[in-house]
Chain A
């Protein structure tokens, strides 16, 4: 039990579909993150939210749209994805979004784009 839960664990979608990934943290943290993990590549930071406000958007294409309705929940809305978007999408949280705190990760959503 990591304290960070991601659903679904696996998702297969076509390029024209719209889907959403969900992340929920039960740790009382104030910061949440989306990462993309592709095979044999470093983990890529996509978005950072602190106290429900987006503080980082690392040049992510607009077909990825994050939403943070409260400090416990984070969504990643997907629309018109490309085959290269197939990857493991990891959500993480930390106490306050500063670098001297550990991040707690969920087990990810394995996304496959047909």
Chain B
């Protein structure tokens, strides 16, 4: 069953702009992960954030987690055309090691 849901479903921006994608989930979690998928390829892990963390950075990526609102956001700063991809959040269930993925946000960055 689906745990995380990304919002928006699709996002189109110009190169250089920032992109923000959101993920909401229903039950308490231990960890939340963000992945990226280029067309025709597998998913690539971006960032893992634990339930006791509020923010993590990796290069141009910034992830926040608000467990009180059961939501997370992924911010890509100074976007590039190469950032065009689908982005997925994945959450575990508090008492389960399985990861559940959302349907993803399709990001298009126009040059």
Q: Which residue of B lies closest to A9 (CB)?
A: B40
Give the chain B neighbours of A98 by CB distance below 8 A: 97
> Are B101 and A99 neighbours in the complex by a CB distance under 8 Å?
no
Q: Which residue of B lies closest to A90 (CB)?
A: B42
What is the bound-complex CA distance between A108 and B88, given in angstroms?
16
B12 at the interface (CB under 8 A from A): no
B30 at the interface (CB under 8 A from A): yes
Contacts A42-B2, A56-B98, A99-B30; A107 near B103 (Cβ below 8 A) = no
Interface residues of A in 1-60 (CB under 8 A from B): 2, 4, 6, 35, 40-43, 45, 48, 56
> Are A107 and B40 neighbours in the complex by a CB distance under 8 Å?
yes
Map CB proximity to A onto B26-53 as digits: 1 under 8 Å, 0 otherwise: 0000110101000011111100101000
Contacts A42-B103, A56-B98; A107 near B42 (Cβ below 8 A) = yes
B100 at the interface (CB under 8 A from A): yes
> Are A108 and B42 neighbours in the complex by a CB distance under 8 Å?
yes
> Are A106 and B42 neighbours in the complex by a CB distance under 8 Å?
yes
Residue among B43, B50, B98, B103 making CB contact with A105, cutoff 8 Å: B43
Instruction: Known A-B contacts: A2-B42, A102-B45. Give 16 more (CB < 8 A).
Output: A42-B2, A42-B101, A42-B102, A42-B104, A43-B43, A43-B88, A43-B90, A90-B42, A90-B43, A92-B43, A99-B30, A99-B96, A100-B30, A100-B48, A101-B48, A103-B43
Footprint of A on B, CB under 8 Å? 2, 30-31, 33, 35, 40-45, 48, 50, 88, 90, 92, 96-104
List, sorted by A's number, 17 A–B pairs whose CB atoms are closer than 8 Å: A2-B44, A42-B104, A45-B98, A45-B99, A90-B43, A97-B97, A99-B99, A100-B48, A100-B50, A102-B48, A103-B43, A103-B45, A103-B99, A105-B35, A105-B44, A106-B42, A107-B41
